[in-house]
Every structure is written in C-alpha cells, then in structure tokens.
Amino acid sequence: MVIETSQVLGHFPETIKPKNLYYVGLAYFHENQPAMATSFFNRFLSINQPTTKNYQSASSLLQQLKQQLPDYCLENSKACTQAATFDFLRNKDKGDLNIALLLNQYSCEAGNAKACFSLGFMHENGFAVEKNPAVAISLYTESCNKKYARACEQLGNLYQSGELVESDLDKAISYYRLDCQYKKAGGCEQLKKLDVKYSHKARPISRFPPIYPIRAMMNETQGSCKMLFDVSDKGKVHNIRATCTNKVFLRNAKASLRKWKYEPKVVDGIATASTDRTTKIAFKLN
C-alpha cells in the first residue's frame, strides 16, 4: 500500500509524535524522496530502542537510503538541501546532525550554493564536526561566488568583526556590496552604517499574477505580453508599454504590472528613477 505523505502529515500538522516518525519516513520513502525519508528514519532510530516495533525496518531502510543519497543529491540538490535544513532545525538541540551534514555535503558537491553555506555554518560552529574556521571561510566563499547572498553577508560580517579571519574592512565592504547586489537587504544596510556608497538596479519586491481574460479562457487562448516600463524613485511602476501575442491579454497584463512594487534603482546610495525596464507576463491555461 502506498501512503501519501500529505495524508500522514495531515494527521500530525503541528507535532509529529516519536512513534509516528517511522510512518512519515515510510511515506517519503514510497514517494521516492530519499532525503526526507532518511531524515525521519534517522530521527525515529535516535529516540527508539532496538526492541521497538519497526526499529529493524527503519534501520534497514536507512542503510538502503544512504546508498542512494549521493546520486539522488547530484540530480536533486535542492530537495536534499531542503531536507538538510529541515533535519538541522529539528535536531540541532539533540546533537544528532550527522544526516544534515551528509545531505549538505552531497548537495554542496552537486553545486548547490545554499548547501555550501549551510555546510560552512556547521564547520564554523562545530555542528556534527570539529570547528574549522578555514573550511568555513572556504565554503562561505564558494557559496558567495555562486551568488548566494547570505554567504556574502556572512563573509562581510566576519571580515568586519575579525572573527575566524583577520579583520579587513575593505574585504568586508566588498562582500557587503555583493550581498546588496544579490538582492539581500543586510549588505545594503551594513553599507549604510559604514557610510559607504552603493548601487544596484531596480528590483521587484512583490509581483501580482494577471487575471486571465474570460474571453481568452473560453476560447482556450494562451499567450504572453512583453512589457516595457519605468520605475520611479519611489518604486512605483508607470509608463507601461506592452506587445502581446494577442490583444485580448493587453489590458489585464497592464493592470497586473501596475500592482507590482519595486525597490528603486540606487546610484551611489541615492534612490533614482529607472527607465525601459522589461519583463514578460505569460497567460497559460493549466
């Protein structure tokens, strides 16, 4: 019998009792999600005794899953990284973080920037490994080079404070600039505090999907609109121009874009209007 994970979790929406961890792991196992299944089986085994019902089954399945993880994470690094984060948050107070470490290692090797950051964090703080500042800095740098903003901010903090590495304000500022450029506010805020000028393009804060025109829906018409527009120094979209594959989409595409909110373009720390921004709004039937 195949168990739907959503059905299992539906019975335990807030707290999954220890005796039910096995069944949640089994659900993920049947849904071919070995990373999440591994996390739950490992947790089940850590708080149960060999004489507990389903202990031997969970142990056997865990060993089987561990063999699958390298190939799985290579093809599904995002899923493994999510499972690692889930496992870390649930188990960090218990000191049982070997699975989170393993998943982050495989995902980082597969090129996942977030996993490299998480692995660096584990090495920095001694979670499941000995503290190793050099390895942590190396992993943070690898993650930042892959444009993971949080890693850039962390490097900025470390170089500014002199923790793990020798204090270097110039390097700190360079990493804060990258963080700011990669759309994370922390780096921009640090640059403001340091009274350092910074720049970045206008970037969307919130988007609103378009309403599908009833006439197009009835005729099963699909299409898209290429949008050209300006953004004010307050982040408001205006002067919208559009070219659509079918004019039936034009009005709703413009109405959708007008609701978008932007962080305005910044030049040397000053909010500035920007022109000729482009985006594409698609109309597709499910």
5-146 CATH fold: 1.25.40
pLDDT digits (tens, 9 = 90+) for 192-238: 888 888 787 888 889 999 999 999 999 999 999 999 999 999 999 99
DSSP annotation string for 35-100:
HHHHHHHHHHHHTS-TTSTTHHHHHHHHHHHHHHHHHHHHH-HHHHHHHHHHHHHHHTTTT--HHH
Report pLDDT for 135: 96
Strand runs labelled E in 95-156: none
pLDDT at 59 over 60: yes
For residue 205, give both structure tokens: 């804060």
203-283 CATH fold: TolA/TonB C-terminal domain (3.30.2420)
Q: What is the 3-state secondary structure (H, E, C) of 153-206?
A: HHHHHHHHHCCCCCCCHHHHHHHHHHHHHCCCHHHHHHHHHCCCCCCECCEEEE
| Three-class secondary structure of residue 250 per DSSP | helix
Residue ranges per structural domain of the chain: 5-146, 203-283
More confident residue, 237 or 6: 237
More confident residue, 245 or 201: 245
Are both 5-146 and 203-283 of the same fold?
Answer: no
Report pLDDT for 95: 67
What residues have CB less than 8 Å from 34, skipping those under 6 apart?
Answer: 28, 65, 68, 69, 72
